[in-house]
Amino acid sequence: MNLSNRSSGGSEKRTQVRIPVDDEICVRDTVSGFELGTLANVHDAGFMVISDGGLKEDHLYQVAFEINSGRPAITLGAECLWISETGTGDQIWAGFQIMDISEDARQQIATLITQYQE
């Protein structure tokens, strides 16, 4: 699979509008405690992370979006669908599909999306 255009909105067909995240929101693996990276964009069915590495394609993660504004973390299950190096090669982009999410977390994601659309 060609992943070279994933982070830049290349030629692949996207059906969801990605909302860029302007704040530093840590994405943490709640099982290992490992920081997966920083949330780059989000939509109601998935998200993208920029990371220093350590992620595995086709791997399921239980994650928490650690929001610095004092709001509770958003927890959900997601699969890492693809990984691509950044242009500088010192970090990676990783695309995730949300696989398991509570109604509460779904509402928190909707609130986050609304916040960054403004």
For the entire predicted model, the pTM comes to 0.85
Cα distance between residue 10 and residue 15, in whole Å: 13
What is the reported pLDDT for 8?
41
Task: Specify whether the CB–CB gap between 35 and 27 falls below 8 A.
Answer: yes
CA dihedral 38, 43, 45, 46 (to 10 degrees): -20
CA dihedral 75, 79, 82, 86 (to 10 degrees): 20
CATH topology of domain 19-113: Thrombin, subunit H (2.40.10)
Domain ranges of the chain: 19-113
**Which comes out higher in pLDDT, residue 10 or 114?**
114
Average pLDDT over residues 62-86: 94
What is the reported pLDDT for 6?
41
Residue 118: pLDDT band with limits 50, 70, 90: confident
pLDDT of 73 strictly over 90: yes
